[in-house]
């Protein structure tokens, strides 16, 4: 057997696998001998069927099977030994004159090669690293919302500036149907709020999404649409009112504190504010980190230039899935996948060049912290090591869960790497200002 590689260009190559009779003959003869021992053919005793008849009936199928096994095994071995960094899988080239009746065979495979490139982490324009602070206004608003949540609800006759409105936003055009609750202070402008004032349960209001809410992110939340769909959304929606309620704020007493955090965990308004600030800081840090990760990813994809074997990848996409694609469908699929593929290559190079690895012990510790946090949410603040280790073992026995945790851990390690190596500027602001700046 002889395997050779011919580079077409920096991103494409052809591998030729030449197989002669001596490579497969012994294996084929062995399989046919075994077939002869087991064959049940009328007129012949088992194990005494003439070999010529066995070869006539099974010879071609066995030959094809054994040659294909030999081909795949040695092609894969060659690719590993030569350390060829592939995109997609090898594609067999069509050979119109191929003849299975020959004794020697030659197979050709097209390869799409991963590009070589450099990554510049010294960006001239600094990327913003947000530091979201829980200021007094944010904490006071949160306390008021919690007091509303735990307060006494009473039905109201009609919508006023003091009531909560529950209803269903609908748009057949955009496939929107979402039940939500909000107060009138969320609505932007007198013209819009006047449509709500005095309305009763069962009324249906026709509203325009443009400038409907004071905050753009409320459009995403109340209509349940993505950030992309919310941008510049100008459609008419209906809103059917299903409830109108007034809500009396819950009293700030020990019973209220206990409902929030358990018996005697918090015993004063000041302690409540300190606890909420602590929780908010953790939540805000996660959101700020995710934004930084997204922004650095966007920067790397936009500023790391390299070519891809597009024609090969489109051809590979046509045959890679369960259902073959047309040329046009493959082009569309490639356009959707290109950005993700570029970042996969960039991320892989960053991990390799900077020796960023996820060891099993890292994964185990990460899973343990995750389980402890989840248990704490349900009041189990002091689980034993035996309990934790048992749950972690079950989590890590699920391959899908392991993959998800690995991806999260890789993101964490990359985030720490970016904070050390990318040109960043820290911007401190409260949560409301963060949402306006990032999502408006």
Q: Which residue ranges of the chain lie beneath pLDDT 70? A: 379, 381, 440
The two beta strands, 12-19 and 105-113, are: antiparallel
- Beta-carbon contacts of 2 under 8 Å, excluding residues fewer than 6 positions away, are 17, 18
What was the pLDDT predicted at 227?
Answer: 77
Domain boundaries, the chain: 2-113, 152-248, 271-439
- Residue 72: the pLDDT is 94
- What pLDDT is attached to residue 287? 92
Give the CATH class of 2-113.
alpha beta
Cα(27)–Cα(64) distance, rounded to whole angstroms? 12
Q: Which CATH class is domain 271-439?
A: mainly alpha
- For position 432, what pLDDT does the model report? 85
pLDDT at 440: 67
Report the pLDDT value the prediction gives residue 381, as an integer from 0 to 100: 67
Q: Distance between CA atoms of 111 and 301, rounded to whole angstroms?
A: 24
Q: Are 36 and 54 in contact (CB under 8 A)?
A: yes
User: Which residue(s) pair with 153 in the sheet?
Assistant: 247
Give the architecture-level CATH label for domain 152-248: Roll (3.10)
**SS3 assignment for the chain:** CEEEEEECCCCEEEEEEEECHHHHHHHHHHHHHHHHHHCCCCCCCCCCCCHHHHHHHHHHHHHHHHHHHHHHHHHHHHHHHCCCCEEEEEEECCCCCCCCCCCCEEEEEEEEECCCCCCCCCCCCCEEEEEEECCHHHHHHHHHHHHHHCCEEEECCCCCCCCEEEEEEEECCCCEEEEEEEEHHHECCHHHHHHHCCCCCCCEEEEECCCCECCHHHHHHHHCCCHHHHCCCCCEEEEEEEEEEEEECCCCCHHHHHHHHCCCCCCCHHHHHHHHHHHHHHHHHHHHHHHHHHHHHHHHHHHCCCCCCHHHHHHHHHHHCCCCCCHHHHHHHHHHHHHHHHHHHHHHHHHHHCCCCCCHHHHHHHHHHHHHHHHHHCCCCCCCHHHHHHHHHHHHCCHHHHHHHHHHHHHHHHHHHHHHHCCEEEEEEEHHHHHHHHHC
Residue with tokens 């206990």: 258
Question: What's the confidence (pLDDT) of residue 131?
Answer: 95
């Amino acid at each position: 057997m002889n395997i050779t590689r011919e580079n077409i260009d920096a991103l494409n190559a052809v591998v030729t696998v030449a197989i002669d009779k001596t490579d497969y003959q012994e294996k084929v003869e062995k399989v046919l001998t075994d077939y002869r021992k087991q064959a049940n053919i009328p007129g012949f005793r088992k194990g005494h069927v003439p070999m010529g008849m066995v070869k006539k009936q099974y010879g071609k199928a066995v030959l094809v099977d054994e040659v294909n096994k030999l081909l795949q095994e040695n092609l894969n071995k060659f690719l590993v030994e030569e350390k060829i960094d592939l995109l997609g899988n090898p594609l067999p080239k069509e050979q119109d004159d191929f003849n299975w009746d020959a004794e020697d065979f030659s197979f050709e495979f097209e390869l799409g090669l991963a590009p070589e490139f450099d990554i510049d982490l010294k960006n001239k324009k600094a990327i913003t690293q947000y530091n979201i602070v829980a200021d007094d206004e944010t904490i006071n608003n949160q306390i008021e919302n919690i007091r509303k949540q735990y307060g006494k609800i009473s039905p109201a006759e009609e919508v006023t500036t003091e009531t909560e409105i529950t209803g269903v936003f609908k748009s057949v055009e955009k496939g929107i149907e979402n039940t939500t609750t909000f107060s009138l202070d969320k609505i932007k402008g007198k013209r819009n709020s006047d449509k709500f004032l005095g309305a009763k349960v069962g009324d249906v209001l026709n509203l325009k999404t443009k400038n409907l809410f004071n905050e753009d992110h409320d459009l995403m939340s109340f209509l349940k649409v993505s950030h992309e769909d919310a941008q510049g959304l100008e459609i008419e929606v209906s809103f059917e009112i299903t409830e109108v309620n007034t809500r009396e704020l819950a009293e700030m007493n020990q019973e209220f504190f206990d409902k929030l955090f358990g018996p005697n965990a918090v015993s004063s308004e000041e302690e409540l504010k300190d606890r909420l600030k602590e929780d908010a800081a953790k939540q805000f840090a996660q959101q700020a980190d995710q934004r930084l990760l997204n922004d650095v990813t966007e920067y790397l994809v936009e500023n790391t230039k390299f070519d891809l074997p597009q024609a090969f990848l489109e051809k590979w996409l046509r045959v890679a899935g369960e259902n073959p694609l047309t040329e046009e469908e493959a082009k569309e699929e490639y356009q959707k996948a290109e950005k993700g593929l570029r970042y996969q290559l960039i991320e892989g190079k960053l991990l390799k060049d900077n020796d960023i690895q996820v060891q099993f012990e890292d994964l185990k510790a990460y899973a343990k912290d995750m389980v402890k946090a989840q248990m704490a949410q349900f009041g189990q603040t002091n689980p034993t090591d035996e309990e934790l280790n048992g749950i972690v073992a079950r989590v890590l026995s699920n391959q899908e869960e392991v993959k998800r945790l690995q991806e999260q851990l890789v993101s964490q390690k990359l985030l720490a790497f970016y904070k050390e190596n990318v040109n960043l500027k820290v911007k401190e602001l409260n949560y409301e200002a963060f949402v306006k700046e990032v999502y408006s």
